[in-house]
Amino acid sequence: MRARHVFAITSLVFLGVLAISPAKNALRPYRSLQQQFRKLGATRAHSLKEALRYEGQSVAIRQIWLPRLDGRVDRCATCHLGAADPVMAQAPEPFRLHPATAHTPSEFDRFGCTSCHGGQGPATSLEEAHGIAEDAGPPMLPREQIEAGCGRCHSGETVDEAPVLSRGRAVMTRFGCYACHLVRGHEDFRSEAPPLTTIALKTGAAWLRQWLKNPKTVDPNTTMPSFDLTDAEIDELSHALFGRTPPQELAAAVAAAEREGPGDPAAGKKIFSEARCISCHTVEGKGHGTAPELSKVATAATRGWLLAFVRDPHAFNPRTRMPQYGFSPSESRDVVAYLEDELRDFDAPKDILLPLRVNRTLAEKGEKAFRARGCFACHAGTGATVAERFGPDLNGVGDKKARSLDFGKREDLPRTTPAWLGAKLANPRSFAQGLKMPSFDLPPDDVRAVVTALLALGAQPAPEAYRSAERQPPGVIPGGELGRLFDRYRCLSCHQIGDRGGDISTAPLTHEGSKVRREWLTSYLLVSYSIRPIIEERMPIFRMSRADAELLAGAITSFYVDPAIPQDPFAGHPDSDRDIGEGERLYTSLGCRACHIVGAAGGYYGPPLTDTQSRLQPGWVFAWLKGPQKWRADVRCPDYGLTDTDALRLTAYLETLKAPAETVARGKS
Amino acid sequence: MRTPTVAALSGWLRDTSVYRSIVRHGVEDTNLNRSLVVLENLFLHVHPVKVREKTLRLGHTFWLGGITLACTGILFATGILLMFYYHPSVPQAYQDMKELQFVVDNGLFLRNLHRWGAHLMVFAAFAHMLRVFYHRAYRPPRQFNWVVGVVLLLATLGLSYTGYLLPWDQLAFWGVSVGTNMVRAAPWIGEPFRFLLLGGHVVSENALLRFYVLHCVVLPVTLILLVSVHIWRVRKDGGVQGPPEDVP
Amino acid sequence: MSGLPPIAVVESNDPLETPRRVALVHPDIRPAVRRSEERMVMTFPHLIVREIILFQVVTIALSIAALLFDAPLQGIANTTETPNPAKAPWYFLGLQELLHYFPPVVAGVLLPGLVVIALVVIPYARVNLTAGPLWTGRGPRALLGVAAAILAVAAFAAVFDCWPVVVPTLAVGAAMLAARGGERGGGTRRAFARVTLPEWIMTWFVIVASVLTIIGTFFRGPGWSFVWPWTTFRTW
């Protein structure tokens, strides 16, 4: 009977087909990997008992469950079986021991794997777990951008042990990304770009044209991007900018300055160097480079504007990082005379500073272009708030799926989010016609760093329990008179206070009040010098009044105090801890002299200790000796793990060191 | 001692009083026993004892109703298994889909079977309807069974559509959003009906729960009842009707 | 009882004098199992075995599909990330395609409602009207009516630029008209001539629904714009 034969065949096929899935299940790769691991463990084990323990491991899915981290489940350990097992150091992947970091191997149970590495934690196959499969969860972070994982919890501007991330965040702040893009924690960001109300007072049409064409060719230090403007747009924008009415008092100040007599360039040159202008500016590439290149400054701006600006930069741009110097009228004339004399482009056309005769129609068009191109995002007039960001919200860009990004014409790119972001930064408008983002011309290393910082921007902030309590205390800037002085001298342009401030100075002010003595600080503010001989002098001589210096020193020493640093470290300790002789012996035996100068001999790497008594407070010296890295993570001074007694004896010895008479006298002059 | 053969063993088994109490027809292959197989069985007695030979031919019905019913059976089996792993809540519903794939033994196979089975069922039900129509099998006395069939088709679509939301992925969410937005267009009743269906004005966790209950309780029960009526009627109306040449 | 007149029995063959009920004809509404000389077979095992085979074949086919192709699972539902285009399941894409042309009330409610009602009504429609081939025994008035109906539907769809409906409507309409008088013609026309009105309507519906569903499934991209099936585009 035919149906019977068909029935026999279909029954067999039926059973066979239904058996395939269980068979596939039994052959899942992780099972054989776990068996391999058992054997590997048994051969590597240090004892028979340990070997038996490896042999006895059951084949099972292994997971880390993190209820407080969004209920995350990471099953990576199902294959990466030796990640936390010291026996598996240098073992072949996927069994190798995880490299030591701040959180591993001790805190696997707290962080799991995907919180740092990305990828799809619950998956139990390679393609799915690593996010390679289509429609899989988030892909793993590429090794290049691995520090983006740190940035998910560590939201501070600088993150120790994550240099690429920190650099990326610094670049983003410096180039003012937050002016156009909304990013959590930077909602109040305001660009320090000038408000552009005084263009007509400052420069000429020809110079502005050059600048708008490509700012980088005029000033390599500028953070202004290139917008690839057409000649017509440049024309319209020029008319718009020259058509703006400058504030009356600035116009008057520039006009008055224009009429002043000449200064002395030689004297100006000396002041220029004492004021440490190139701590921020550059002259022919020499200098720090976070402020404009000055070698052609006199070709970019009129004499009257330069003079008025040097006297009161904050009136021209309230958000500039430039401090206000206490130059006398003649001193400022001397400085500008030096600029006019030497720092100019001698090949520039004569009419470069000629103003523009404004055409109202073109100016109106230009104002429209000013909005359409997003210039207003950085060059907002004072008082105007950036209510709506010009560019897209970047929160969550790190979680974007590559398939949701428009690769447009860029067929050359791998279809991944990091590749897209990198290409967007390197060549923003290469994806399609009419894209708005200008090109910042960042070097490849910076691009990589910024991509890392961007990938750290998750759609949701890290859960409360995981948000890093940054080691740095919040940078609090006092108000009132002291706040005014901080603002005048723009201390934060160079110094760090807590999590805020610039990176030009190597000396953060966060604990300055616990560190130095008030009298020394006053004299230092009046006449600064480099504390570490190996570092070039950067702290400007502001020519501030003694009253200002005393006020600042008093406020800093009473305000920026760390309660963890004892005023008197010897309190409560026996007198034997003040053994100066023993301290001196320690100084010699620890080899401190390799870096520090005491008396006439010693190394140049660290600060000389000759004037310790007048400069440093004993509490600070003691706290520092107990662990220098606690105060500055990157400091080279070794942590000898001194006992309290030893640290106190060394402190006692150092506190006996007095400066030679002339240095003290120099400070008082 | 006699060597036990399979035949002897099964013969012994069929003679036990327990087996006799469950299966009442005799062992011999006689027409009486063949009839009793059908008559004495709750599930088979929807069939008559004898059927016309031509109804067994492929071209008679293309077995489309049978395929639909087979799909229903597979979907019930896999669906019940899937219910063991599924929580109709956000975001657990989606994570359960992942767990099915990553942890549950044969979980992905089950889900695939359920998914493709559902597509085949919708397709086979459509095809069945067309086959019945072109074979003019809706004509009296089968009018009512045709209407039951139309309702069954709607129930099938409803099952497929409510199941579409349950994975709670982008495909599900937007597919259902688009679909329920069409309902809005109905004058007067559109908006209230949509609200009733979704338990809110947008597709949310409430909608997920409602779709879950519809998918796992309301519609399957409806389906079972109507399929019973449908098949019973087929028998009462003289068995499956093939191409119209059958009817003079 | 005595007051009653006697009943006069009139025996006559003249129907006008004594009306007589000749026959009462009921429409055929009850199942009638026709006696026939068809060959019968035992349900068990002949039918039952085939049913089990059918079940096994369906299971085998679905299992193989399930082993080869994974059910789609995209990212978790996200109310803020709208896919473009957002598509309904395939069996609703014809409807969604209609929505592209017609106002929502028409495409979302009126047309599907009419289809469901039509499906329910089919077996109850007047049997005389629908049982035979479309043109058999119908005069030029029917021709006029059918032509007018075809043109009306096509014109209605054309008003909304809905060419996926207009073209099949006109094609099916042409076939309907060609079927007139086709009994005497050859081949295809002869086949057409045997088609009943409901069959014409159903055929039209199936073609229109298939065309719309295929367009909606394979030919629609961002913003419901027309794309080729092989064009790749960003879904969101």
CB contact under 8 A, A22 and B106: yes
Question: What is the share, in percent, of chain A residues with pLDDT greater than 70?
Answer: 96
Check CB contact under 8 Å for A404 and C49.
no
For A132-197, give the secondary structure using H, E and C. Answer: CCCCCCCCECCHHHCCHHHHHHCCCCCCCCCHHHHHHHHHHHHCCHHHHCCCCCCCCCCCCCCCCC
Across the range C209-215, mean pLDDT stands at 94
Mean pLDDT of chain A: 88
Mean pLDDT to the nearest integer, A297-316: 92
Provide CB contacts within 8 A for C127, sequence distance 6+.
Answer: B139, B140
- The predicted model gives B16-38 an average pLDDT of 85
The answer to whether the CB atoms of B182 and C46 lie below 8 A apart is: no
**Separation of alpha carbons A438 and A391, rounded Å:** 11
Tell me which of A469 and A245 has the higher pLDDT. A245
Task: Measure Cα distances from B244 to B131, B133, B174, C37, C195 in Å.
Answer: 11, 10, 44, 18, 12
- Type and span of the H or E element at C152: helix C140-159
| Residue scoring higher pLDDT (C9 or B147) | B147
- Residues of C within 8 A of A2 (CB-CB) are none
What pLDDT shows up at residue A161?
A: 84
pLDDT at B3: 66
Q: Identify the weakest region by mean pLDDT among A413-427, A457-471, A632-646, C72-86.
A: A457-471
Q: Which residues pair with B52 in a beta bridge?
A: C40
Q: Point out the least confidently predicted range of A564-578, B228-242, C179-193.
A: C179-193
Q: Is some CB atom of chain C closer than 8 A to the CB atom of A405?
A: yes
Contact C81 A404 (CB under 8 A): yes
* pLDDT tens track for B207-236: 999 999 999 999 999 999 999 999 999 988
Higher pLDDT, B99 or C9: B99
User: Given an 8 Å threshold on Cβ–Cβ distance, is B105 in contact with A25?
Assistant: yes
Which chain C residues have a beta carbon less than 8 Å from that of A11? 56
Against chain C, the chains showing at least 3 CB pairs within 8 Å are: A, B
Mutate to test the interface with C, among A10, A15, A400, A404 (most CBs of C within 10 A): A10
Residue A657 contacts residue A613 (beta carbons within 8 Å): yes
Please provide the average confidence, as pLDDT, over all residues in chain C: 83
Candidates A104, A118, A112; CA nearest to A147 is A118
Give the model's pLDDT for residue A384.
Answer: 47
pLDDT confidence band for B246 (50 / 70 / 90): very low
The whole-angstrom separation of Cα A401 and Cα C78 is 13
A277 pLDDT higher than 50: yes
Q: ipTM for the complex? A: 0.91
In this structure, what token pair is assigned to residue A188? 């109040």
Asked which of A48-52, A242-246, A388-392 is least confident by mean pLDDT, the reply is A388-392
Can you tell me the mean pLDDT for B46-55?
88
Predicted local confidence at residue A382, as pLDDT = 45
Size of interface B-C (CB pairs under 8 A): 211
- CA distance between the termini of chain B: 65
Mean of pLDDT values over A473-493: 80
Q: Which of A256-260, A378-382, A393-397 has the lowest mean pLDDT?
A: A378-382
**Residue A21 in contact with partner chain C when CB distance is under 8 A:** yes
Q: Residue A136's pLDDT band (boundaries 50, 70, 90)? A: confident
Q: How many residues does chain C have?
A: 236
Minimum mean pLDDT range among A25-34, B9-18, B83-92: B9-18
Asked whether residue A580 carries a pLDDT value surpassing 80, the answer given is yes
For residue C215, with 0-12 CB atoms within 10 Å meaning exposed, 13-18 middle and 19 or more buried, which class applies? middle
Task: Render pLDDT for C103-160 as a digit per residue (tens, 0 to 9).
Answer: 888 887 888 889 999 888 888 876 555 567 888 777 788 889 889 999 999 999 999 9
List of chain C residues whose C-beta atoms are within 8 Å of the C-beta of residue B56: 41, 46-47, 50
Please tell me the distance in Å from B17's CA to the nearest CA on chain C: 24
- Which of the other chains make 3 or more beta carbon contacts under 8 angstroms with chain B? A, C
At residue B54, the pLDDT reads: 87
Q: Which of A542-556, B36-50, C3-17 has the highest mean pLDDT?
A: A542-556
Euclidean distance between CA atoms C141 and C32, whole angstroms: 37
Contact (CB<8Å) B105/A22: yes
Min Cα separation C55/chain A (Å): 10
Residue B24: is its pLDDT beyond 90? no
Q: What mean pLDDT is predicted for residues C76-101?
A: 87
Distance CA A479, CA A496 (A): 17
Query: What per-residue confidence (pLDDT) applies to A644?
Result: 87
Q: Residue C78: list chain B partners with CB under 8 A.
A: 170, 173
> What is the C-alpha to C-alpha distance for residues A474 and B234, in angstroms, rounded to an integer?
81
Query: Which residues face C133 on adjacent strands?
Result: C196
A132/A124 Cα distance (integer angstroms): 13
Please state the rounded mean pLDDT for residues A251-270.
91
Please state, as a whole number, how many other Cβ atoms lie within 10 Å of the Cβ of residue A648: 26
pLDDT band (50, 70, 90) for residue A124: very high
Among candidates B52, B66, B157 on the partner chain, residue whose Cβ is nearest the Cβ of C40: B52
* pLDDT grade for A664, boundaries at 50, 70 and 90: very low
d(CA A282, CA A339): 13
Q: Average the pLDDT over A391-419 and give the result.
A: 88
CA atoms within 13 A on the CB side of B84: 11
In angstroms, the separation between the Cα of residue C66 and the nearest Cα of chain A is 9
From chain B, the residues in CB contact with A124 under 8 A are 102-103
Q: B100: which chain C residues are within 8 Å (Cβ-Cβ)?
A: none
CB A425 within 8 A of CB A442: yes
- Please report which confidence band the pLDDT of residue B248 belongs to, taking 50, 70 and 90 as the band edges: very low
Mean pLDDT, chain B, integer: 90
- What is the structure's pLDDT at C234? 65
Q: What pLDDT sits at residue B79? A: 97
Residue C41, classed as helix, strand or coil, is strand
- C96: which chain B residues are within 8 Å (Cβ-Cβ)? 178, 182
**Residue C129, exposed/middle/buried by CB under 10 A (0-12, 13-18, 19+)?**
exposed
Q: DSSP 3-state assignment of A560? A: coil
> Measured between alpha carbons, how far is residue A222 from residues A179, A192, A270, A442, C216 in Å?
16, 12, 26, 12, 53
pLDDT (0 to 100) of residue A385? 53
State residue A195's pLDDT score. Answer: 86
Give me Rg for the CA atoms of chain A. 32
Confidence of residue A387 (pLDDT cuts 50, 70, 90): low
- Give the gap in angstroms from C-alpha C33 to the nearest C-alpha of chain B: 6
A589 pLDDT above the threshold of 60: yes
The closest CB to that of C63, out of A11, A17, A137, belongs to A17
B27 has a pLDDT exceeding 80: no
| Minimum-distance CB partner of C74 among A3, A17, A135 | A135
Q: Which of the other chains make 3 or more beta carbon contacts under 8 angstroms with chain A?
A: B, C
Reported as a pLDDT band with limits 50, 70 and 90, residue C2 is low
Q: Which of A434-448, A455-469, B173-187 has the highest mean pLDDT?
A: A434-448
CB contact under 8 A, C108 and B182: yes
Who wins on pLDDT, A388 or A323?
Answer: A323
Interchain contact A404–C (C-beta under 8 A): yes
Mean pLDDT, rounded, for A105-109: 87
In which band, very low, low, confident or very high, does the pLDDT at A667 lie, cut at 50, 70 and 90?
Answer: very low
Q: pLDDT band at residue A290, thresholds of 50, 70 and 90?
A: confident
Measured distance CA(A452)–CA(A417) in Å, rounded: 11
Q: Could you list the beta-strand ranges (E) of chain B.
A: 50-52
